[in-house]
Amino acid sequence: MASSKRIASIAIILWVATIVVFGWFFVHGYTETGSDGRKAVVLEAGERGLILGEMRGLLAATQGIVQGIQQNDMKQVAQSARAVGMASAVDVNPALMAKLPMEFKSLGMSVHHDMDDLAAAAEAGKPAGELLGMLSASMGKCVACHSAWQLKVEQR
């Protein structure tokens, strides 16, 4: 009887320790000081490529949004923005998300959310100036992220 209580206690302690360690990594990520003073998020090459591909997708969508606004084509604006909205961020690998610091995740997710808001505003017929203002605010988050973070490939 005492032996099973001891085993149960050890199992609970290990479970709690695992949750604490995972929670710490979920908030802080896997980072180090970067070569240029920014924080470097340390990733495997494929993970880095995935994030950079997502960023290229956001840049291409931004170009589509600006072109749509310039041509007064709100359908193009909405389609470009919606393509990089929250729906595009739902299938991220949990192991990758654990490596990303909370600030990085928050900025990234807020940009995806902004794109959904921009798509809805275009569909609602908001004026071009308002759409550009929304896009400008979202791009400010891109600039803040790129100013604070770099992506580094883990050296093995």
Cα 121 to the center of its chain, rounded Å: 22
- Is residue 25 scored above 90 in pLDDT? no
Of the listed ranges 1-5, 78-82, 116-120, 122-126, the least confidently predicted one is 1-5
Q: 44-88: per-residue pLDDT in tens?
A: 999 999 999 999 999 999 999 999 999 999 999 999 999 999 999
Least confident stretch, 19-23, 63-67, 122-126: 19-23
Going by pLDDT thresholds of 50, 70 and 90, the confidence category of residue 13 is confident
Categorize the per-residue pLDDT at 156 as very low, low, confident or very high, splitting at 50, 70 and 90: confident
Q: Quote the mean pLDDT of the chain.
A: 89
How far is residue 57 CA from its own chain's centroid? 13
Structure confidence at residue 133 (pLDDT): 98
Per-residue pLDDT tens digits for 141-152:
999 999 999 999
Give me the DSSP letters along 83-141.
TTSGGGGTT--HHHHHHS-HHHHHHHHHHHHHHHHHHHHHHTT--HHHHHHHHHHHHHH
Cα angle 31, 34, 39; round to 5: 50
Average pLDDT over residues 118-139: 98
Residue 94, pLDDT above cutoff 70: yes
Q: Is 87 in contact with 125 (CB distance < 8 Å)?
A: no
What is the predicted pLDDT for the residue at 39?
94
Which letter does DSSP use for residue 35 in this model? Answer: T
Q: What is the pLDDT of residue 17?
A: 60
Section 18-30 average pLDDT: 59
pLDDT at 27 over 70: no
Domains of the chain: 30-153 (1.20.120.10)
